[in-house]
Structure 1
Amino acid sequence: MQRTVLLLVVVAVVAGAGFASMGAAQSGAGLPAGGFEQTDVNPDDVLIEVSVEPDGDAVWETEYRVRLASDDEEQAFEDLRADVESDPDAYTGRFGDRMRATADTAENATGRDMNVSNVTVTAERRELPQSYGVITYRFEWSNFAAVDDDRILVGDAIDALFLDEATSLIVSWEDGYRLGEVSPSPTETRDTAVVWEGPVDFTEGEPRVTVEPDGRAAGPLLFVALGLLVAVVAVVGYRRRPWGTTASEETPASTGSEATAEADDAVAAGAAGAGADAASGGTDGSAADADGEAGEAAPPVDEDLLSNEEQVVRLIEDNGGRMKQKRVAEELDWTAAKTSQVVTGLRDEGDLDGFRLGRENVLSLPEYDAGSDGSDDSDGEE
């Protein structure tokens, strides 16, 4: 995703807060020098904290901190605080508009519907232990992170952002979750957060943080063990199961020698006998039994055995090579977030193409030719 994402954040904050520069500005996240005419203070550092929730929504807090080392700086900050408190809408309005534009860019890149809401601003003095003036913007970003089952996948909405030497980024999560994977290595790892201190020049595909519920690792292992046990029992039962009629029953003449002769491959012989019984239409119910057992001998392909990516590609192939992403989610009974995560991986690997149609994402196979079947941009879908 474009590096303009964080720059838009910073421009929005500065436009609202009105920090002015005297000479070269000391600022965060690529903040340009100069141009802050309302006051005579510069932000000394910037702290961005993204608190991710289990449903993928996130609460953002961006703090601009100004050290108040002189009487002039203290007075300038007090003037700014009075201005913020008397007319907060003048600050949150401009900030919210720019953040919503940022979310729109991320929405186009990720395929998830996003929105920015509940924008607030505060100005306060803190002792850290030196005296600082702090301007804090807070807002909620819906669908900021992707969710795959119960895992939270963070970072694609701010892909390849840049932190300068005055900026820190914190990604935090709720109690009951633990860190799974993170890239690149953070400056600090806490119980419920990771921290990057600038300067950090994230490359494409970074930052990425995956968190999952505590104890989740035991779950898949248990299911794998149970699956292997069921498979072993099924194979043993399959090999020992008698096919055709029992030894005490007479076999209709029309079954032929295939159902009664001994053969090295008992399964093949049994299947042949069952098929012959079905063809004979016997009156003792053996034909119906053969139908049932023949069906069990050749079960349909279990879609669950396919990977998520294989299911998506197969579904699009079955639908002529092109589908809307929303319909893929409906057909596979997946959440929009899970569908987006799988589709993004396929597009990155070149296995799928996609484009926006209004507010819809349309997916197609690389070899799909829209003109070959007379399709138009409506995709023939409701």
Structure 2
Amino acid sequence: MHSDGSATWVMEQRFLLETKEEEDMFRKYSDWRYFSNHFIQNVTSLVNEAKLRTGREDMAVPLESFKLTISGSGSYKVIRYRFEWIEFADSTGGQIIIGDVFEVEGLFLLGDGILDITVSSGYVIESVSPPGDADSGIDLRWNNVTNLESGEPEVVLRQRAFGVGAILREHAIMIISVILVLGIGSFSVWYFRFGKKAEKRVKGVAQPPEVQFELQDDEEKVVDLLRATGGRLYQSTVAERLEFSRSKTSKLLTSMEKEGRIRREKKGRQKVVILTNETRD
């Protein structure tokens, strides 16, 4: 979520392609014609309804912000839809209030999907209703959106106090991801059901000695980022914020973990990177 109340939405779906039906579905929903003729039109319609309901006149989704990407290998494929939602949330007085757009019926259209909200270092979570099924202080998760009522979840973010340099570096970005692992027999409720991209760990290749100088600089970037976010961040978020590849991030954090600068904890399918007390000081 940007500090002006705009948000980046990322919606993904996983395909195992174990049956012809799955292959047919993958071909259909990865087709640009479907993306442009159906997905974009449906999102635009929902945003227009949210605009009327919330009264935020500048609410919109720029057409140029829509992106379709396909990844994966072998029989495992991921379709990723991404777009920018201007004035997604109410942003006033150093607070961002998320929730009124969820009063729009059919906003998710994702059956029993998982909803993840990841908050950047620019803001801290002040209140959440209903409480998430998982809450790291940075990330919130609701395991089944069908359990949410109209207007839920409601999340209030408060601006964190930073120095000028830190504020310029951070733009309070929150990625809202709707997650679902598609399984056999679930096709009838597929539309708008998406899955978070699987993290693929690629073992790092040994680098020549001079790379150590680059690693040292990158380690400081990681430490600075973690300090700015209260000392905890998902490994995937570290890679995204610093624009590192997943393999580079994994190798870098492994080195830092051996040095005792950070530690990592498994949280679901992801790893949380935590500054050690010595490094935090």
- TM-score scaled by length of structure 1: 0.37
TM-score, normalised on structure 2? 0.49
Higher Cα radius of gyration:
1
Which of the two has greater helix per residue?
Answer: 1
The structure showing larger relative contact order (alpha-carbon pairs under 8 Å, at least 6 residues apart) is 2
